[in-house]
Amino acid sequence: MKPYIYITRKLPEAVVESIRQTYEVKMWEHEDIPVPKEVLFSEAQKADALLTMLSDQIDEEILTAGNQLKVVANLAVGFDNIDVKTASRLGIAVCNTPDVLTDTTADLTFALLMAAARRIVEAAEFVKEGNWKSWSPLLLAGHDIHHKTIGIVGMGKIGETVAKRATGFDMNILYHNRTRKPEIEQKLGAVFTSFEELVEKSDFLVCLTPLTPETKNLFTRDVFKKMKQSAIFLNASRGPVIDEQALYDALVAGEIAGAGLDVFEKEPINAEHPLLTLPNVVALPHIGSSSVETRTDMMKLCIDNITAVLDGTEPKTLVNKDWKPLVNA
């Protein structure tokens, strides 16, 4: 009997056709609708492998639904949707997709910064709605990016790559991270600061920190009050690292100039979300790594990780490093 792989979102057939001869493969039939929990539970009861999305909650109930699950491959760098501790206890490998999306996510993050700074979305809608009647000196005037100070909270690989792009705009680069990165300081001229100093000095504050118990609601109303009134806040990490009500209140009060958000506390959001009512907010639907090339590479990496585990070898990008393949896998 072939090992059974369940994929929680419809992927291009060209990506999965290579494994159909060796494995039994089934996909959820929708590209843009999450698999219901009851369906996921039913499939997990018989699956040897799950290829999951960040929106899928892979909790203890799912991990213990059956007795043959060997690997969960998450189509994301983050894995806060997976109960890694329980997976490790059960001998289930957890894999993610780092590195292959670094440049693409950094591109999007910097594009979000530029869009928020120069009011790109607002200006495009202004033209489409027929409101452009004449030229005026301060028509939709935004903020310069060049020679300004960018503060990056979370100097991982994506943070470093965003900083690299900032050098092309002659920006001053500040960063805050759990550990100092001397090699980045030397290579890019970045300056390590305390969180408080970064908040006070940044013209553009870019949040790229992972979601942990320590970073949840890291950005509160008090934090926003300490930022420059001309500052713009960007979040391309995880929605729950900010207090969205606090951000809304800070924007309405004029305590900061604008925001660019690729992530939200609860996704997807609806059109009535308070932040969407503000003209100085650029909102995107969590598309940081969404290029055709990168998403395809992420899918292939997930499949490579799954086949490695089912073949009894160590996958390329293992999250729970204490996992060991079963002798008779």
**Residues forming the active site:** 238, 267, 286
Angstrom CA distances, 137 to 109, 128, 140, 142, 188, stand at 29, 20, 9, 12, 36
Instruction: Tokens 């004029």: give the residue.
Output: 254
Within its chain, how far is the Cα of 244 from the centroid?
17
Question: Closest Cα partner for 4 from 70, 86, 84?
Answer: 70
DSSP letter (8 states) at residue 258:
E
HEC readout, 121-148:
HHHHHHHHCCCCCCCCCCCCCCCCCCCC
Strand-strand pairing, 149-153 and 172-176 = parallel
Q: How far apart are CA 263 and CA 267, in angstroms?
A: 8
Residue 82: CB atoms within 10 Å: 27
Burial of 313 per CB tally in 10 Å (0-12, 13-18, 19+): exposed
For residue 226, how many other CB atoms are within 10 A of its CB? 14
Number of CB atoms found within 10 A of residue 236's CB: 28
d(CA 188, CA 182): 10
- Quote the tokens at residue 216: 């949840």
Q: Which amino acid, 256? A: I
Side-by-side strand order, sheet with 24-27: 24-27, 4-7, 49-52, 71-74, 93-95
What is the maximum span of the chain, computed from C-alpha positions, in angstroms?
74
